[in-house]
Amino acid sequence: MSITRRQFGRQITAMSALSMAARFSPRALAQSAESASPQPVGYAIIGLGRIADHFMRGIQASPGSKVTALVSGHRDKAERIAAQYNVPKSSIYSYEEMDAMRSNKAVEAVYVALPNSMHAEYTIRSAKAGKHVLCEKPMAVSVAESKSMIDACNQANVKLMIAYRCHFEPTNLKAVKLIHDGEIGKVQSIQSAFGFDIGATEWRLNKKLAGGGPMMDVGIYCLNATRYLTGEEPSDLRAYATSDASDPRFKEVEENLVWNTKFPSGVVASCNTTYGANMGGYYRVYGSRGWIEASPAFNYDGLRLRAEYLGRDGKWVSLDEPNLEKDPIQFTRQADHFSACIRRNLTPKTPGEEGLRDMELIARLYNSAGITML
């Protein structure tokens, strides 16, 4: 049965809202700490940059996951890393040779840790090789690419999960639970920001690789947080972008992006992201009986939850809870969840549709700000 683009969008919105509520229900919160698969799932790491290092170190602490192959354009680097993780040299592949992984039974899944514009190609190639895919965010650089990734994984009957770490992280999960339990009353507004002063040689300044500026890198954390904190999808949004014309870093991508969103319940959110200043990632949620703040909210460790609200007994409640967990525990949880989904044939909590929804919203934000996507 064929459906129109508008009907498809409505279905995704409805499904996303339902799945968001389910993911952060008490049952889902309990499942987020579920034990890993008793039989480790073997992962091929595609791309050996900084984020891959965090993920591989996370896997080392995981009883349910292990590194079994590497894909890299630098053989010498790959061999050094292979020695660290006991990966045989026969399981090191170049990008051109990667499709040969199909016959490697030690590889059941891949972790795609490449620049944004390469996510679609290597997700689709991995799916065709019969491997489950855990792909870094943002899912891709366009809505069309995101849909093609979902289609390829569905056709190959493999699972696709987008690496939204915060959906498995205790500080964020507690903030969501407090909000959804009504502790701060009716939510009125959300403020969120995340940015940093980017170095001039970063690949993220190349639009063909990154697909965009800070919105595609750290701004997506703020956007996704407003969705999981409310359990809703934005009904309206507006965005504004600025760049310093004299700064050579921003010839291809935006320097700053600010946006406002309105949700069906009446909640309004104000967010901003930048590559021009250090802006610690945080969110603050205001309700009719108090507020909740996570700051930092999106880092690999050092997260902190604060809150003040009028309790049901009429007494004020104050929270100040630092999260003492250290990197790379968030990556361990993420891998354990995906491995458990593979072993138990479950749908990941952050499937391809979750990444697609963010890409659809980013496309609307860029259009509102007058930015052309790839």
Residue of 137, 147, 174, 207 with catalytic role: 137
Nearest to 298 by CA among 369, 218, 358: 218
What values do phi and psi take at 371, rounded to 5? -105, 130
What is the C-alpha to C-alpha distance for residues 48 and 73, in angstroms, rounded to an integer? 9
What is the C-alpha to C-alpha distance for residues 183 and 289, in angstroms, rounded to an integer? 7
What is the C-alpha to C-alpha distance for residues 66 and 60, in angstroms, rounded to an integer? 7
Query: Is there a catalytic annotation at residue 283?
Result: no
Residue of 43, 93, 111, 221 with catalytic role: 221
Nearest to 342 by CA among 131, 159, 165, 167: 159
Query: Is there a catalytic annotation at residue 159?
Result: no
Q: Is there a cis peptide before residue 234, judged by omega within 30 degrees of 0?
A: no
Residues 6 or more apart whose Cβ sits within 8 Å of residue 73:
94, 95
DSSP code of residue 254:
-
Q: What is the dihedral of CA 346, 231, 52, 69, to 10 degrees?
A: 10
**Residue 273 exposed, middle or buried by CB count within 10 Å (0-12, 13-18, 19+):** buried
Q: What is the largest CA-CA distance in the chain?
A: 66
What is the C-alpha to C-alpha distance for residues 17 and 42, in angstroms, rounded to an integer? 32
What is the C-alpha to C-alpha distance for residues 172 and 297, in angstroms, rounded to an integer? 7
Nearest to 330 by CA among 134, 170, 223, 222: 170
The residue type of 135 is: C
What values do phi and psi take at 327, rounded to 5? -55, 135
Residues 6 or more apart whose Cβ sits within 8 Å of residue 27:
none
The residue type of 116 is: N
Could you give the angle at which helices 143-156 and 119-128 cross, rounded to 10 degrees?
Answer: 10
Nearest to 227 by CA among 120, 55, 362: 362
Residue numbers annotated as active site: 137, 221
